[in-house]
Every structure is written in structure tokens, then in C-alpha cells.
Chains A and B, each alone.
Chain A
């Protein structure tokens, strides 16, 4: 799968890349993918699967999918 990390979520990725490819052998729950990558689910405010807003718990992701994640957004 292609994963794009928005805002400060990039901070948690080991190489601090915004775009990473995550190979998946089978459909996997999104929350489990985040745990594997060390990205805290508590900091994810929005998850977008192929352009649609989704929840972390109910969503399974396949290798051909694109997922975008964003943290909470404040002002300034």
C-alpha cells in the first residue's frame, strides 16, 4: 500500500518520510498497520482510504490501496 502521512504524523515515521510504501501480503486492519509502523493511533484525526474518510478500526487495507492520515488540526 502507499501511505501518506500529513502534518506531524511524519515525525513518528522512522525516516521521517511523508510518503512510504508498505507491502501487505493480505488485507490488514489499518490500526494494526499503524502499530507496526510506530505511529500512535491516538494522534490520527483523519484517515482517508482511496479518497474516502474511514475509521481506523473498521478498515482493512489491501496492497493496491492508498491511505492518507492526518493529525488533529489546530489554528495559528
Chain B
């Protein structure tokens, strides 16, 4: 068995026990890592209807199959549990250095059960693990906690994954960070760690990945090809030059920059928040994840001081900037820093504040509720105060810490109309009225609104484009306009969803493989084969991705989710107010028809959105079909 340490670490925080389990080759082939491994464990170990913040919830942290390999962009791990934000299957990926270090320490994944009586952290090193007290870490900012852990373990190279005070306070969109600069932001999984009184997991290992690989020379050659290729491909070259902040201006020009809680698609203050301003005002360096040649991460200086927490990504700029009507880049960077010091998801935090701003402007909440804060769009000071109050669950922040869906239910009236969320998770900063498959991804994703379900429509809309040609090796046949949901488009969705799900199983970043970026799909499959000694075809590989998605769907079906939950907020069926797409919107009939077509392609019942036994058995998931009977 190649490419794997074969070991899973199990930690029961209620009993204080630590154990090591091994996996078989047969198991590894079906659930080789990341989303697939986590999905299997969640579905088998979390009893139906488990309260997400109870000790019975199970937290899984699983490396991708390739994580730790000397392969550019294959650095990621997934965190999974039942989500306190959505009450559905929960999942969030991150890059950085922590995942590769876990592999070097001898483990594929960690399974955390129970709840500690007092705050703790887990220390993992070279095949061993122990639970250590963390009462002295509780209540502190993430930078301080990382420094303290490294000092007490007497090793500056220890990699620290941790929550912040937002997770301790059970904010429903609290995230998890590693190395202070890489984030499992989405789905509130930091609150699950907080509910278990688990502040951090520190790792250090010395095992080299290459001793595990089936053909280390061939794998290294592919890694070298990918490292060199970054600067030869325009898509990856641009990610290196500008990083994600480079998206701000083009999206604004296209009328797809979410502005004022998705009412508008263009922001009059775009010049103050676009890449050129970022480069001039904030940028101090470009940084990377383990073995990654793309180097899309930004380091920034705020008020002349280099931030320990890295720079705001596009999503963060969008959420605290245009979506809140704010054009102050320094304030956006400050909000990013606060979120990372307290460990809040920047997308849900910004989007929930934007939701509250619209409620305030419509008179659904007043100064009495906000405790005197003039929570209008564009009020920078109010935005920063609310970030603090959400993390500390103080005053009105206590309500917003529940997320926009629950807050809307409490506020009442038309507030639900302003909550831009699906299954309780707030939209990322991508406008579905200009990219219909992104809207379909928001609707159908098992984890709630997620922008990484499929390649965005605009990327492959031109049949002559490089990205479309690269997508053809996945089986994409025809280019389609961005603003349609016809049957051919659903075929595209079905294929691309499997592909992106596969990336989350293997550990590849969205910014590695084509069609979004530069690594050819056949080379992605080749890396898996050289690591494992398998002989996977593209079809076999896509089936691994489909299997992972279906486990998540079965998890949700067991919790009562159905077609009615694969929906979009009414605002998307109403016209955008300004910009290049002014007056444009999605159509209910087209959306519902497309949903039916997509369920049929997936082998899911079009009325219930539950996978058929036949399809589950085709995916070697007959055992999951049994769970639904």
C-alpha cells in the first residue's frame, strides 16, 4: 500500500484516550483521503440528529491523498463535522503547512470525539499523540496562542492549527486557522472544536513523503513540471502576480461584484479597493503554501506594521468592502486581521453584517437594537465594531453570531428576504445572476452556499479559450453561455462537480488543476497513480469525486434535507440594480427545470433529491443506501 501512512489517530476528549487505527488497501481505494475519508467517518460515526455542538458530534480532520507530496498546489486537508451553521454535512478545506506536517508525523487523519472537561490541546509528533491542558490559552488571540504553544514545546517549527475566541464562544461561523494565515473558514467548524473544549492541535513530524510513494522519481518529475509550469500559463501566472485581489476590478466591470448585500453588481468605490490600490497601500510580500509554486498568498502591512495574519483575499475584500458599501482598504485589512485573531469566517462575518445593514436601512432594527450603532451601508467604524461584538457575542453581536438565517428569523418581517444564504450559510462574493452554474452550486451544495462546487461559467464560456479546451479532457463537449441553465449546462455541472469534489479528496487546491488553473487533468490523475501505484482512468478518478458527494448527500438526507433545501434566495430572481448586468435576474422555471435535469443525471430522485439505491450501489455505497431505510 503506497502513498499512505495507513494510520488514523483517534482522540476521545471525554475519556482522555488516544489510539491509532489502521486502514486497509480496499478501504483506501474507496475513501483515499480528504472529503471521501471524512465523509465515510461522519456517516458511520455521527448518529442521526446529533446536535452539532454536543459531545456526540464527531470532528474529522483528514489530509488529501497527496497532501505532503512534493507536488505544487496539493497541500490541503479537510475539516468535517455536522455543521452548527447549517445543521447539515459540514466541511471546510485549507492549505498551508499543517496538513503536510501531519503526514510527516505519521497520520492521514484525526478523529476527535467527546468533550474535554477543561480546555485542552492535542500534541502530535512522530507517530505519537497526547492531550495537554490549555486553560492558559483559552480567551487569547490566535497569534499569542501559537507563540505560547511553540514556546512550551520548545520548537519554533511546530505547526499549530487552532480556533480563536469566536470558536470558544460558539459563534456559528467560527473558523479554524493554521499558521495564522491559512483558514478552514466555512461552516462554523471552529465552534465544533470550541464545543469540545479543544483549542488547538500542534503537529511536528520528520517522516519524508517520498518513502511512502510508489514511484517517487516519477512523482518528483511531475512536481518539477508543475513548479516550472506556473510561470508558463497565464492563469497561474496571474494568481502569482495579483492573487485573488485581482478579481475585484474585472468582476466590477462585468457587473458581478456583490455590492450592498447583493442588491447591486457594481461599486462606485471600486478604485479604492481594487488590486492597484491593494498593491500600493497594503502589499508587503507574496507567500505560499507547502511545495506550492503558485504563491498566491499575500502578506500586508497595516499602519506600517506587517500583519501576522496575512492579507485579505478577494472574498474578504468583497464581504467587508463592496458588500458592506465600504471603500476603505485599510479598514478591510483591519477587519481581516480581527477575524483571524478571533478566528471568524470572513465571508459569513462580512455577509452577515451586510445583511444587518440592509435590515437597519429598512427600519427592521433600530438604534435600540444595535445599541446606538448607526449600522448603515458604508459605515466603516460600525462594521469594525460589529466584528468585535460578533466574536465576543456581545450585545447585538450575539444575535449576528447566529448567522444571517437565524438572525432573520429573530428579527422577523421581511428580514428573511435580506439573508443571502443557502441552508444557513452565507453566499461567497460571487454573483449568480452573471454565472448561473455558480448559483446552481450555491443551491445544491451539501454544505450550503459554496462557490467552489464547479468551475465558474465565465471561465469556459468561449469554445476557443484555453480553459474550455483544457476542460474537454474531463468530457465537457460544448461551451455554453454563462447565463443559461440548459441541459448541456447541467451536463457540464455534473462533470465539473465530480472534478472539484475529487480535488477535495486528493488535496489539490482550486488554483492548481485546469480548467480554473494550469495543471492538466490527466497530469492530476497521473500524480495519484504515481503516488499509489494504481492505474486509475479519468472515469475512475471522477467516480471517487462522485462517491464523496453522494456520502455528503446521504448524510443530509438522513437529517431530513430534500429538494426544498436546494433553493436560492428570492433576490436572485429579481433584477440587479446597477452595473453591466442591471435589470438581469434568474428565472424560477428555468432554475427548477435545471434542478430536475441535474438530479436525473446524478441518479437522485427528482422529488426528494435523495440518491437512488441503484446509483449508490454503482458507487460501492450500498451500505449508505441501507442507512436511509
CB neighbours of B466 from chain A (8 A): 40, 42-43
Q: How far is the CA of A8 from the CA of B241 in the complex (A)?
A: 9
Q: Of residues B250, B313, B460, B466, which shows the largest number of chain A Cβ atoms within 10 Å of its Cβ?
A: B250
Say yes or no: A75-B428 contact (C-beta < 8 A), given A11-B237, A70-B253: yes
Chain B's nearest CB lies how many Å from the CB of A51?
Answer: 10
User: Interface stretch among B5-13, B407-415, B451-459?
Assistant: B451-459
Interface residue? B246 (CB, 8 A): yes
Q: When the two chains form their complex, are residues B462 and A7 in contact, meaning their CB atoms are under 8 A apart?
A: no
CB neighbours of A8 from chain B (8 A): 234-235, 237-238
Q: When the two chains form their complex, are residues B516 and A46 in contact, meaning their CB atoms are under 8 A apart?
A: no
Q: How far is the CA of A56 from the CA of B242 in the complex (A)?
A: 26
Chain A's nearest CB lies how many Å from the CB of B14?
Answer: 39
Q: How far is the CA of A7 from the CA of B253 in the complex (A)?
A: 12
Chain B's nearest CB lies how many Å from the CB of A54?
Answer: 12
Q: When the two chains form their complex, are residues A7 and B246 in contact, meaning their CB atoms are under 8 A apart?
A: yes
Q: How far is the CA of A51 from the CA of B455 in the complex (A)?
A: 29
Encoded as 1 (CB less than 8 Å from any A CB) or 0, chain B from 74 to 102 comes to: 00000000000000000000000000000
Pick the residue among B241, B313, B465, B510 that contacts A72 (CB under 8 A).
Answer: B465
Q: Chain A, interface size: which category?
A: 20 to 34
| Interface members, chain B 282-332 (any A CB < 8 Å) | 313-314
Q: When the two chains form their complex, are residues A72 and B234 in contact, meaning their CB atoms are under 8 A apart?
A: no
Interface residue? A76 (CB, 8 A): yes
Query: How many contacts A-B (CB < 8 Å)?
Result: 87
Chain A's nearest CB lies how many Å from the CB of B184?
Answer: 16
| Interface members, chain B 456-509 (any A CB < 8 Å) | 456, 458-462, 464-467
Interface residue? B430 (CB, 8 A): yes
Pick the residue among A72, A73, A74 that contacts B462 (CB under 8 A).
Answer: A72
Interface residue? B249 (CB, 8 A): yes
Interface residue? B251 (CB, 8 A): yes
Interface residue? B254 (CB, 8 A): yes
Encoded as 1 (CB less than 8 Å from any B CB) or 0, chain A from 15 to 47 comes to: 000000000000000000000000011110110
Q: Of residues A7, A9, A10, which shows the largest number of chain B Cβ atoms within 10 Å of its Cβ?
A: A7
Q: When the two chains form their complex, are residues B452 and A75 in contact, meaning their CB atoms are under 8 A apart?
A: yes
Q: When the two chains form their complex, are residues A7 and B238 in contact, meaning their CB atoms are under 8 A apart?
A: yes
Q: How far is the CA of A68 from the CA of B253 in the complex (A)?
A: 10
Q: Of residues A7, A11, A43, A74, which shows the largest number of chain B Cβ atoms within 10 Å of its Cβ?
A: A74
Residue on A nearest B468 in the bound complex, by CB: A42
Interface residue? A53 (CB, 8 A): yes
Q: When the two chains form their complex, are residues A71 and B237 in contact, meaning their CB atoms are under 8 A apart?
A: no
CB neighbours of B253 from chain A (8 A): 6, 46, 48, 53, 68, 70
Q: When the two chains form their complex, are residues A74 and B516 in contact, meaning their CB atoms are under 8 A apart?
A: yes
Interface residue? B28 (CB, 8 A): no
Say yes or no: A6-B465 contact (C-beta < 8 A), given A75-B428, A76-B314: no
CB neighbours of A71 from chain B (8 A): 234, 250
Q: When the two chains form their complex, are residues A45 and B254 in contact, meaning their CB atoms are under 8 A apart?
A: yes
Q: How far is the CA of A9 from the CA of B253 in the complex (A)?
A: 15
CB neighbours of B455 from chain A (8 A): 74
Q: When the two chains form their complex, are residues A75 and B438 in contact, meaning their CB atoms are under 8 A apart?
A: yes
CB neighbours of A9 from chain B (8 A): 234
| Interface members, chain B 215-256 (any A CB < 8 Å) | 234-235, 237-239, 241-242, 244, 246-247, 249-251, 253-254, 256
Q: When the two chains form their complex, are residues B428 and A72 in contact, meaning their CB atoms are under 8 A apart?
A: no
Q: How far is the CA of A58 from the CA of B210 in the complex (A)?
A: 56
Pick the residue among B237, B249, B461, B467 that contacts A6 (CB under 8 A).
Answer: B249
Q: When the two chains form their complex, are residues A73 and B456 in contact, meaning their CB atoms are under 8 A apart?
A: yes
Q: When the two chains form their complex, are residues A42 and B238 in contact, meaning their CB atoms are under 8 A apart?
A: no
Number of interface residues, chain B, beta carbon within 8 A: 38
Q: When the two chains form their complex, are residues B238 and A11 in contact, meaning their CB atoms are under 8 A apart?
A: yes
Residue on B nearest A70 in the bound complex, by CB: B250
Interface residue? B511 (CB, 8 A): yes
Chain A's nearest CB lies how many Å from the CB of B599?
Answer: 24
Chain B's nearest CB lies how many Å from the CB of A56?
Answer: 11
Residue on A nearest B509 in the bound complex, by CB: A76
Interface residue? B585 (CB, 8 A): no
Q: When the two chains form their complex, are residues A73 and B254 in contact, meaning their CB atoms are under 8 A apart?
A: yes
Chain B's nearest CB lies how many Å from the CB of A34?
Answer: 13
| Interface members, chain A 59-76 (any B CB < 8 Å) | 68, 70-76
Q: How far is the CA of A7 from the CA of B235 in the complex (A)?
A: 8
Encoded as 1 (CB less than 8 Å from any A CB) or 0, chain B from 93 to 124 comes to: 00000000000000000000000000000000
Q: When the two chains form their complex, are residues A7 and B250 in contact, meaning their CB atoms are under 8 A apart?
A: yes
Interface residue? B580 (CB, 8 A): yes
Say yes or no: A46-B238 contact (C-beta < 8 A), given A72-B462, A74-B456, A75-B451: no
Pick the residue among B234, B516, B580 that contacts A43 (CB under 8 A).
Answer: B234
Q: How far is the CA of A74 from the CA of B510 in the complex (A)?
A: 10
CB neighbours of A70 from chain B (8 A): 249-250, 253-254
Q: When the two chains form their complex, are residues B465 and A43 in contact, meaning their CB atoms are under 8 A apart?
A: yes
Chain A's nearest CB lies how many Å from the CB of B440?
Answer: 14
Q: How far is the CA of A10 from the CA of B430 in the complex (A)?
A: 23
Q: When the two chains form their complex, are residues B250 and A11 in contact, meaning their CB atoms are under 8 A apart?
A: no
CB neighbours of B461 from chain A (8 A): 45, 72
Q: Of residues A6, A68, A73, which shows the largest number of chain B Cβ atoms within 10 Å of its Cβ?
A: A73
Q: How far is the CA of A43 from the CA of B250 in the complex (A)?
A: 13
Q: How far is the CA of A48 from the CA of B250 in the complex (A)?
A: 11
Q: How far is the CA of A17 from the CA of B239 in the complex (A)?
A: 16
Encoded as 1 (CB less than 8 Å from any A CB) or 0, chain B from 340 to 381 comes to: 000000000000000000000000000000000000000000
27 A–B contacts from the bound complex (CB under 8 Å)? A6-B249, A6-B253, A7-B238, A7-B250, A8-B235, A8-B238, A9-B234, A10-B238, A11-B238, A41-B464, A42-B462, A45-B254, A45-B458, A45-B461, A46-B250, A46-B254, A53-B580, A72-B456, A72-B459, A72-B460, A72-B462, A72-B465, A74-B516, A75-B430, A75-B438, A75-B510, A75-B516
A10-B241, A74-B459 given; name 16 further pairs at CB < 8 Å.
Answer: A7-B250, A8-B238, A11-B238, A40-B466, A43-B462, A45-B458, A53-B580, A70-B249, A70-B253, A71-B234, A72-B456, A73-B247, A73-B456, A73-B459, A75-B428, A75-B452
A interface with B by C-beta (< 8 Å): 6-12, 40-43, 45-46, 48, 53, 68, 70-76
